[in-house]
Amino acid sequence: MRGSSIRYLLVVAIIAVVFGASFGFSETKVSGKTASAFIDKKINKSGTSDYYDNLTDSDAFRPGDVITYKIFVKNIGDVNLSDLIVKDLFPSFVNYHSAPSGGDYKDGVWTINIGTLKPGDAKTLMLRGQVVGDTDLPSDKSLICGLKNRAEMHGDVTGGLLVSDDAQFCIEHGVITPVAATSLPESGAGSVILVSTLLSGAGLAFRKFTK
């Protein structure tokens, strides 16, 4: 089991280096054996069935959009991992929507107890968030990038266990900015026209990747 776990991790690491993938990995020793866990957090590109590690500004979400996340966890060590708790920490501007995998949500954190994973066992968890309304987004920014949704797995082993991974994305919305007030050239009366312009910004995000 130890040899196959190492080979599995090496393959994943090579893919990550070549394609820029992100994942979480943790390892500790328990009575001479290896307790090791792997976690990979992905985000669904709106309007598709594809999941990525991160999304760029060209795939930005809009106010009210529902975001679907997928969390893959696996025991790649030699011993059972018990009392496993998976948590998902929601970023600013995204509220909890639902979780097909179950679990509980409180104060910005979704939590689910997945029990025990034997060596080689894996689970895939699904949950959804929803972007807040336009009025709850910053009025001075049309593009907000670098938002991180973080997944963690905690386990009961000697020395503790924590693996985590982030999925990053952007939110785009309209910003209304008053340009100028101009008086109409009519005698005796002063009329004002307020011109509003929708600004769309360009942002820097992270390269997306799918496995």
Q: Tell me: the pLDDT tens digits for 6-39?
A: 444 443 333 333 223 344 645 555 556 777 889 9
Q: How far apart are CA 101 and CA 126, in angstroms?
A: 6
Please report, to the nearest 10 degrees, the dihedral formed by the alpha carbons of residues 14, 16, 20, 23 taken in order. -170
Is 70 exceeded by the pLDDT of residue 180? no
Cα-atom radius of gyration of the chain, to the nearest Å?
A: 23
The encoded tokens of residue 102 equal: 């179950």
Q: What is the pLDDT of residue 122?
A: 96
Helices of type H across the chain: 2-19
| Res. 157 pLDDT band, cuts 50 70 90 | low
Q: Which residues contact 137 (CB under 8 A, 6 or more apart)?
A: 63, 93, 144, 171, 173
**140 closest CA partner among 182, 76, 201:** 201
Q: What is the pLDDT of residue 26?
A: 57
Q: Which residue has the higher pLDDT, 112 or 194?
A: 112
The encoded tokens of residue 79 equal: 């011993």
Share the mean pLDDT of the chain: 76
pTM above 0.85, yes or no: no
Is 60 exceeded by the pLDDT of residue 80? yes
Q: Tell me: the pLDDT tens digits for 37-78?
A: 899 999 999 999 999 999 999 999 999 999 999 999 999 888
Task: Give Cα 63 distance to the centre of its chain.
Answer: 16
| Res. 181 pLDDT band, cuts 50 70 90 | low
